[in-house]
Amino acid sequence: MDYTKLADISSFALVSAVEVGKHLYWTIGSYKLHGQVFIVSWLVIAVLMAIAFIGTRKLDKAPKKWQNFMEFILEFLQDIAKNQIGEHEYRSWVPYIATIFLFILGSNWAGALIPWKLIHLSEGELAAPTNDINTTVALSLLTSIAYFYAGITKNGLGYFMRYIEPTPVLLPINILEDFTKPLSLSFRLFGNILADELVVSVFTLLVPILVPLPVMILGLFASSIQALIFSTLSAAYIGEAMEGHGDH
């Protein structure tokens, strides 16, 4: 008996047990929605709102416990916006950058910490909303709309002069850049989160005890970094769009 081939077949069977692409569909008219994405997204939003309520329901001049934690998070997110957008323009964009960061972080951690596989659905399975390409593309398109809005609001129609700077020859490349920005944002986040969940799933199937724990811890760190990268790049794109004509 060829034990090597038998081992390969067994390993393949374990990996094939990790399913990708099945969804719980909700039908609304002619549209099909990924139900499991909405379920976990609503849970993440509910948890974030609960934390925000607990941390701000009783504000003191000398912050303690939850209030101190909330102020630390706010200062951290303000620094992201200030460093990328600028001292004079960043304040109005803090809510957007903070929302993007907290939602992505909460979604990523929900996928890394909660054993969703224990909850059985009629079809598909619960997971981090950010391991669905539709979620990451939607977030990226929001950033695209945000930086177009920021640029046009600040510079008017002169914003579009950036497409022919420093020479009109670069017009196609500059237009293409605006298409690649949301693509790179969405696929970077989607690919990293999906890969992390697949690795944890495979390790859990192969060695169910102890071994997956270091991978999960590494996944939490990677998830945090992905949220930071997405929000920082979003702020950087907004700051770049708000630069005046001739400021480059």
End-to-end CA distance of the chain: 69
Which carries the bigger pLDDT value, residue 18 or residue 20? 20
CB contact set of 121 (below 8 Å; sequence gap of 6+): 24, 36
CB contact set of 26 (below 8 Å; sequence gap of 6+): 32, 33, 34, 35, 38
Q: In this predicted structure, what is the pLDDT of residue 78?
A: 92
DSSP run (H or E) holding 216? helix 212-241
Q: Per mean pLDDT, which range of 112-126, 134-148, 181-195 is the poorest?
A: 112-126
Q: How many CB atoms lie within 10 A of CB 60?
A: 9
Mean pLDDT across the chain: 78
How many residues can be counted in the chain?
248
Q: Per mean pLDDT, which range of 18-22, 93-97, 196-200 is the poorest?
A: 18-22
Which carries the bigger pLDDT value, residue 212 or residue 38? 38
Q: How confident is the model at residue 248 (pLDDT cuts 50, 70, 90)?
A: very low
Would the pLDDT of 21 be above 70?
no
Q: How confident is the model at residue 10 (pLDDT cuts 50, 70, 90)?
A: very low
Question: Tens of pLDDT along 191-244?
Answer: 777 777 676 666 666 665 655 567 677 778 888 888 999 999 999 999 888 875
Residue with tokens 């329901």: 57
Q: How confident is the model at residue 4 (pLDDT cuts 50, 70, 90)?
A: very low
Q: In this predicted structure, what is the pLDDT of residue 127?
A: 78
Q: In this predicted structure, what is the pLDDT of residue 13?
A: 39
Q: How confident is the model at residue 245 (pLDDT cuts 50, 70, 90)?
A: low
Would the pLDDT of 23 be above 70?
no
